Amino acid sequence: MTTVIFNGTGSSTGVPQLFCDCDVCKLTDERNRRTRFSMTLIEDETVLQIDFPYEIRQQLLRSQVSHIDAGWLTHAHSDHFAGIDDMRMASFRKDEPLPFFISRETFEIAQKRFPYLFFENEYLPRPFLKPVFVEKEPVQFRNMTLLPIRHKHGETVVTSLRFKDFALLADINSIEPAELDKAKGVKLLAISSTVWKKKHPTHFSFEEILDIIKYLAPERAYLTHMNHTFDYSETLKKLPENVLPAVDGLKIEV
Ligand SMILES: [Zn+2]
Ligand SMILES: [Zn+2]
Ligand SMILES: [Zn+2]
């Protein structure tokens, strides 16, 4: 049994957006309140944290996640990475660098933004994070076999993953067929559905996301990483039966 937690289901701005007075941002429906994207996978006692937004500390406190054994970074955009400093505590508790799954492309950016976490630093005689480079081949971490799914989001390389009957497709607007097929037929799919509008430069539109879900044919899919154009109940009306908008804090056993 794998526990999947949708800690944060908002796009890069979060919902409500600052300074916006649209109906969704007015929060007449609390289900529209969304922090920035992160997820937690728990398999027996092993905890894998996927992405590290500004709100990660609050997210993990709310979900009562007791510890983290490894991290997985999809890409180094701020909404996925700006809260990485809080992983110092995961490293302190273990008294060793935290294994950190990351593509080489993402590492190039990440290490420039938070050098003290990856290299020698003024706090500890060791780094906080130990990069484990992933490409397209499966990687083993304790009792978890993690299958990377590589795709793009504008010019940015994104490393999503499949673990057993769960797959995540994070921020996306292009993917090779062989990589997409890795997520086929899962029981639970989480997918970044960021914008309604067609022709966004770095994200698939809502309709394109629905086409991908149809192709992958999961038992159930949850939309995540949604911006303020997604009203929970309005979105729900437009979704097929096996697809739902996720909400912050949602916990599912697969
Ligand atoms: Zn994002
Ligand atoms: Zn708004
Ligand atoms: Zn992004």
Q: pLDDT tens, 73-131?
A: 999 999 999 999 999 999 999 999 999 999 999 999 999 999 999 998 988 899 999 99
Q: Using the mean position of ligand 3's atoms as its centre, give its distance from the Cα of residue 33 in Å.
A: 19
Which pLDDT does position 247 carry in this prediction? Answer: 98
| Domain definitions of the chain by residue range | 2-253
Query: Which CATH topology does 2-253 take?
Result: Metallo-beta-lactamase; Chain A (3.60.15)
Determine contact, residues 121/110, Cβ cutoff 8 Å. Answer: no
Q: For 152-167, write each residue's pLDDT tens digit.
A: 999 999 999 999 999 9
Quick: pLDDT tens for 31-74: 999 999 999 999 999 999 999 999 999 999 999 999 999 999 99
CA of 176 to the centre of ligand 3 (A): 18
pLDDT higher than threshold 90 for residue 29: yes
- Taking the centre of ligand 3 as the mean of its atom positions, its distance from the CA of residue 95, in whole angstroms, is 31
Quickly count: other Cβ atoms within 10 Å of residue 61's Cβ: 9
The residues whose Cβ lies within 5 A of ligand 3, an ion, are 77, 171
pLDDT of 197 above 90: no
What is the token pair recorded at 192?
Answer: 């970044």
- % of the chain residues with pLDDT over 70: 100
d(CA 206, CA 253): 26
